[in-house]
Structure formats: C-alpha cells, structure tokens
Structure 1
Amino acid sequence: MKLTAALWKKLPKGHIFKGKHRLVKPVTGLDIAAKLRDFEREEQNMFYLRHPYLTKEESYCHSKEQGRFEKWIRKWKLIQADKFSQHKPMSDHLMHLRSSDGWESY
C-alpha cells in the first residue's frame, strides 16, 4: 500500500495533461532539431511558391498550346454520344417491374 502511494505521488492531481497540475514533457534537442527541419522545409516551399518555374503568362497559355482542353472536350463528347445514342424500348426500362408475374398470363 505504501509503495503504491509513493508511486502515485509522482503523478499530478486530476487529469495528467490538463490543468494547473499537469505533466509537461521536457523539450529535448531532438524536438528542437525536428522543429528546425520543419521550418527549413516550409521556407523551401515558400521559396518555390515565390519563384515559380513558369511566369504568369506562360502558365496561362501552356495548356492551351498543348491542346489539352480540346482533347478533353472531344473525349467527353464521345463518351456522352456512346451513353445516349443507344435507343432502348420502354419495356426494357420497365422489365424489373415484371418480377411478380406468374408463368402463365391470364
């Protein structure tokens, strides 16, 4: 009992990660190094965003020169034509409603 009480003395009262009496993890050199790497990575990303490979004019027209939009429109029109060009009678669309019919018609 006394051993358990001695071990529980090290823990704070109440929730161990909230409030006035809480456990605070000490900051180590590894934590500082990890945070510095994060800052360096973020700075590198901001550099790439500030200095893009293409200028605004180049980025506006480069996909138009390659004809990507026109290719996409042609492909989309073919898909739509295939989807809606097949004419089916109404009996094919309503076939699922005939599931309760008997074998003989009256």
Structure 2
Amino acid sequence: MRLGWVLMLPYKPKMPRGHIYRGKYRIVRPVRSGDLQYLRNRLDQEEKNMFYLRHSYLTPEQSKGHATALNKPTENHLKMLALNEARFKKSVTLDEMLGHL
C-alpha cells in the first residue's frame, strides 16, 4: 500500500489551489497559432468597423432627412404609441381621483 503510494507520488500532476483558471496560481493555457489568427481577424474586423464609423456614407444632415422622407419614424412611432396605450392604464392624478370632494 505505502510502496504503491510512494511510487505514484512523482506522477501526480501539481494542481493549483482553489479555482484552477483564476487567481495567483492559475493554470494558463498556452497560446496557439489559432488563437493568434483569431485575434488578428477580430482586430481587422474592428478596424474595418471603425473605418466605416469615421467615414460614414451619409452626413448627419442627410441621415436625419432620409428617414423623414420615407415617413418611417412617424409611422413606427404612432404604432408604438397605440400599442402602449392599449397595453397600459391611463395616468390618473390626485385631482382626478379626489375631484368629487
């Protein structure tokens, strides 16, 4: 029993105390080439997004005008107002509640 325990002692992997992926003595995964490629792809995509944010297709004045020309925000806004009125009770003030007194 003790002999087997002594022989197996060097083969036991050392594990960190507590949560194995957090803290001072954590296990850190080695960096692989796929991880580096994934990071490069993410940075390239973010760079493209920032380019489009910096150089927008429409000016701010044009972006305000194109939606109103199509009557999109007013139609959607009126639909949402009608849905909210149907779903919720109307606001009641103290004057309306106690007006008969």
Aligned counterpart in structure 1 of residue 15 of structure 2, from 12, 16, 20: 12
Can you give the 5+ residue segments of structure 1 that lack an aligned partner in the other structure? 84-106
For the aligned residues, what is the CA RMSD? 2.7
Deviations 1:31-90 (A, max 9, x none): 11111111001101111111112111110111111122443466568x58xx6xxxxxxx
Can you give the 5+ residue segments of structure 2 that lack an aligned partner in the other structure? 87-101
Q: Percent of pairs identical after alignment?
A: 31
- In the alignment, what sits opposite 2:31? 27
* Number of corresponding residues: 78
Runs of 4+ with deviation above 6 angstroms = none
- In the alignment, what sits opposite 1:56? 60
- Higher-Rg structure is 1
- In the alignment, what sits opposite 1:96? none
Task: Give the TM-score normalised by the residue count of structure 1.
Answer: 0.56
